[in-house]
Homo-oligomer: A and B are copies of this chain.
Amino acid sequence: MKSTEISVNSATCYKNNNLIFSDVSISYNDGDIGIIMGPNGCGKTTLIRSICGIQALDEGQILLDKIDIKNHNNNYMDKIIYIGHKNSLNNDFSVYENLEYLSAFDSSSKINKINEAMKYFDIYKYRNYMVSEISEGNKKKVSLARLLISQKKVWILDEPLSYLDDTAVNIFTNLVLNHQKKGGITIASTHYDFSKNINNVKYLNMDPGR
C-alpha cells in the first residue's frame, strides 16, 4: 500500500475579517492519530473543514502527498472520509437506507459491510427505524458506522464522541486503534482525549485566535 502524507502548511484563516488561526503547520503520515484540541471557538472545526477542502484558506496550503489539494482535480477525496459535527443523516430515510445512501457518495465503500458496521456500533436493532426515531447518541453512531463501510485511509472527524455513551466511546477507540494498525490516518478534534494510552498520537493544540 502506498504511503500517504497529509500536511497543513502554515495555514491561516480569516472569517469576516477576524483571524481564526494563523500559521498552523502539521503533517500526518501512515499510522498517525492526530488529535486536535483547544478551547471552544479556537478554530478546530474550521481547520478540519479546510483540510477537507470545504473551507478556503487565506494563506498556506493543505498538501496531500506533497501536492496542494487545489491541484488534485477534485479527486483528492478518494483517500479521505470526513464526518462533521452534523450527522449528515436524512430524516426521511431509515438508518439502513441512510447508510446505503451515504455509501453511494464514497467510491471505496462496500455496501455489503453495512450490516456488519451497524452491529459493530450496536445499532443493528434500529436498522429499520427512521432517523428521527432514534436517540441523539445513536444518530452519532450511525454516522460513525460509515467508517466501517468506507475503505478510505484518512479519517477526518470533528468531535466524533459527542453524545456517545462510555461503551460507544470504547468501541470507537478500538476502531481507531485498528485503523492505526492497518496504517490508516485518523485526524479528530475532541475535547475528551480518548487516546490516552495510544502511541503515535500527534497533538495539535490550537490557541484561541485572539
Residues of A near any B CB (own CB < 8 A): 15-16, 38-41, 44-45, 85, 125-126, 133-138, 141, 159, 162-168, 191-192, 210
CB-nearest residue of chain B to A136:
B85
Are B163's CB and A15's CB within 8 A? Answer: no
Are A165's CB and B39's CB within 8 A? Answer: yes
Q: Is the interface of A mostly helix, strand, loop or mixed?
A: loop
Contact (A40, B191) CB under 8 Å given A15-B133, A136-B85: no
CB-nearest residue of chain B to A121:
B40
Are A40's CB and B165's CB within 8 A? Answer: yes
Are A164's CB and B135's CB within 8 A? Answer: no
A136 to B86, CA, bound (A): 10
Residues of B within 8 A of A45 (CB): 135-136
Highest count of chain B CB atoms <10 Å: which of A16, A40, A45, A85: A40
Are A41's CB and B163's CB within 8 A? Answer: no
Residues of B within 8 A of A168 (CB): 40
Are B165's CB and A135's CB within 8 A? Answer: no
Q: Give chain B nearest CB distance to A53 CB in angstroms.
A: 20
Are A40's CB and B163's CB within 8 A? Answer: yes
Residues of B within 8 A of A163 (CB): 40, 159, 162, 191
Residues of B within 8 A of A135 (CB): 40-41, 44-45
Residues of B within 8 A of A164 (CB): 40, 191
A132 to B38, CA, bound (A): 20
A44 to B163, CA, bound (A): 12
Are A137's CB and B41's CB within 8 A? Answer: yes
User: When the two chains form the complex, which single residue of B15, B138, B162 contacts A162, counting CB atoms closer than 8 Å?
Assistant: B162
Q: Give chain B nearest CB distance to A167 CB in angstroms.
A: 6
A39 to B15, CA, bound (A): 38
CB-nearest residue of chain B to A126:
B41
Are A165's CB and B191's CB within 8 A? Answer: yes
User: When the two chains form the complex, which single residue of B39, B41, B137 contacts A40, counting CB atoms closer than 8 Å?
Assistant: B137
